[in-house]
Amino acid sequence: MEAARFEVKPYPEMWESLDMDVPRFDKARQMLGEVYGKMFMSQPNRPEKMAYFDDMISEIFGRRIQEMIDVKKEGRPIVGTFCVYIPEEVVVAAGGVCVGLCGGSPGSIPDAEKILPRNICPMVKSAFGFKVGKICPYFQVVDFVYGETTCDAKKKTWEILDRLVPTHVMEIPQMKNARDKTLWFEEVKDFKTKVEEVCQKTISTDDLAAAIKVINNKRRALQRLTKVRASSPAPISGKDALLIEQIAFYDEPVRFAEKVNELCDELEERARNGEGVIDSSAPRVMVSGTPMALPNWKVHNLIEAAGAVVVNEESCIGTRYFKDLIDENKSTMDEQLDALTDRYMKIDCSCFTPNYERIDQILKEYKDSNAQGILHYSLQFCHTYNIEEIKVREACEKEGIPYLSIESDYSPEDVGQLQTRIEAFLEQIRG
Ligand code: BJ8
């Protein structure tokens, strides 16, 4: 099918006011539009309600940035994060915006490699490079960023990033015992204090209760989307679903939940009528592993170009972000923060040891999504996911689940090799 024309809209004056490298960024904008047109707009039988998310991409460097500038003018905080362990409910309770800054583009990596070592995770390099090169309006608009101590690459990069933008760090323990929870709880409280300092406002229990509801509703909408993807034929492509999971990290949460729910109405109707984006005989693949930050669509694109469909992402840009909710029935601030900490402790990132719950969760999601095979995806140099992959593979072998593990980065160099391996994997599923 022919590539459809698509434009990511330019806002050079706004970018200038954010002290960006405008000529260079404008080239990246044009390239994103071309890639998006080719990968997304040419998909057959797309749900109509994807129009909102296409529009979000068209306005990704414009309207949403303007909304954040307006929030900032009112003295409300804009906080950049790199990990789903940072509790966005606290920022929303202060009337602010929490935005995910993880990088999924190879374009900013050379900027990072002028400073950071080359042999570290591409996600860390991509994000850092965006700030160094002044080529990400989201990075330019934040008041401060909040990193965490999940993996070594991130933890040490924050020290260098702090030279370019105020960077605070949340200590995330590496185990989940009672004493780790005590530490975590204190770290969440410190985060709240930091957010309050910036906006010079004390967050009340009512503010936090309302914010917990808002973010729970966003997570509920994404859970609903995941559930309908289990239908056969698949009512939405994996690429579109991944796109929505990526947009979840920068859209306004109430509007986003509303739009995801509208899309789910359409998808549930499709499921009832037995309509899909691809024939029900197409292999159904679940992807598990490291997050795929915008615009990293490489693996989904390869799988779906080979005639299969992705039906689930067990990832932080995926179910790990929204599978758990916060108890909404707590009345004091300490009770609320305790419930919030409990929810965040359920996230099963491979930086924890032991991390048995992730293996169980993968098997559960495999069954729930009616997948027929698991593709484990690890970013290059991500030691924790790469090593935990051993246990995922063993569990799949034990259960007789068709399995493929790949390690990749953002460059196009390994595309041919990945394509061959993915096609062989799909043949295995087809039997
Ligand atoms: S909770 S997965 S968002 S840390 S891929 S930068 S771990 S070397 S992204 Fe993550 Fe939080 Fe865990 Fe989720 Fe390091 Fe690995 Fe790179 Fe990673």
| pLDDT, tens digit (0-9, with 9 covering 90-100), for 171-204 | 999 999 999 999 999 999 999 999 999 889 999 9
What does the radius of gyration of the chain's CA atoms come to, in whole angstroms?
21
* Residue 103 in contact with ligand 1 by CB distance below 6 A: no
Per DSSP, the residues of 244-285 read: HHHHTTTS-HHHHHHHHHHHHHHHHHHHHHT--SS-TTS-EE
**Ligand 1 centroid distance, CA of 141 (Å):** 23
Q: What is the pLDDT of residues 26-50, one digit of tens each?
A: 999 999 999 999 999 999 999 999 9
* Residue 349 in contact with ligand 1 by CB distance below 6 A: yes
pTM beyond 0.95, yes or no: yes
Pocket test for ligand 1, best of 321, 344, 349, 362 (most atoms within 8 A of CB): 349
Mean pLDDT, range 259-265, rounded to an integer: 99
* Residue 199 in contact with ligand 1 by CB distance below 6 A: no
DSSP character at residue 428:
H
| CA-nearest residue, atom 1 of ligand 1 | 349
Percent of the chain with pLDDT over 70: 99
| CA-nearest residue, atom 14 of ligand 1 | 151
Position 3 pLDDT exceeds 80: no
* Residue 315 in contact with ligand 1 by CB distance below 6 A: no
Position 1 pLDDT exceeds 50: no
Q: What is the pLDDT of residue 199?
A: 87
* Residue 290 in contact with ligand 1 by CB distance below 6 A: yes
Mean pLDDT, range 7-29, rounded to an integer: 98
Q: What is the pLDDT of residues 53-73, one digit of tens each?
A: 999 999 999 999 999 999 999
CB 44 within 8 A of CB 51: no
Encoding tokens for residue 147? 């990193």
| CA-nearest residue, atom 16 of ligand 1 | 121
Per DSSP, the residues of 368-404 read: HTT-SEEEEEEETT-HHHHHHHHHHHHHHHHHT--EE
Atom of ligand 1 nearest to the CA of 290: 5
Q: What is the pLDDT of residues 280-319, one digit of tens each?
A: 999 999 999 999 999 999 999 999 999 999 999 999 999 9
Position 2 pLDDT exceeds 60: no
* Residue 379 in contact with ligand 1 by CB distance below 6 A: yes
* Residue 153 in contact with ligand 1 by CB distance below 6 A: yes
86-100 burial string, b = 16+ CB within 10 Å, else e?
bbbbbbbbbbbbbbb
Which residues, in sequence order, are CB contacts of 313 under 8 Å at separation 6+? 238, 241, 242, 245, 286, 287, 288, 292, 319
* Residue 172 in contact with ligand 1 by CB distance below 6 A: no
More confident residue, 199 or 244: 244
* Residue 125 in contact with ligand 1 by CB distance below 6 A: no
User: What is the H or E stretch that residue 99 is in?
Assistant: strand 97-100
pLDDT band for 350, please (50, 70, 90 cuts).
very high
Q: Work out the mean pLDDT of the chain and round it to a whole number.
A: 97
Mean pLDDT, range 222-227, rounded to an integer: 98
| CA-nearest residue, atom 8 of ligand 1 | 382
Q: What is the pLDDT of residue 416?
A: 98
**Ligand 1 centroid distance, CA of 408 (Å):** 14
Q: What is the pLDDT of residues 77-96, one digit of tens each?
A: 999 999 999 999 999 999 99
* Residue 287 in contact with ligand 1 by CB distance below 6 A: no
Pocket test for ligand 1, best of 82, 154, 249, 347 (most atoms within 8 A of CB): 154
* Residue 316 in contact with ligand 1 by CB distance below 6 A: yes
* Residue 101 in contact with ligand 1 by CB distance below 6 A: no
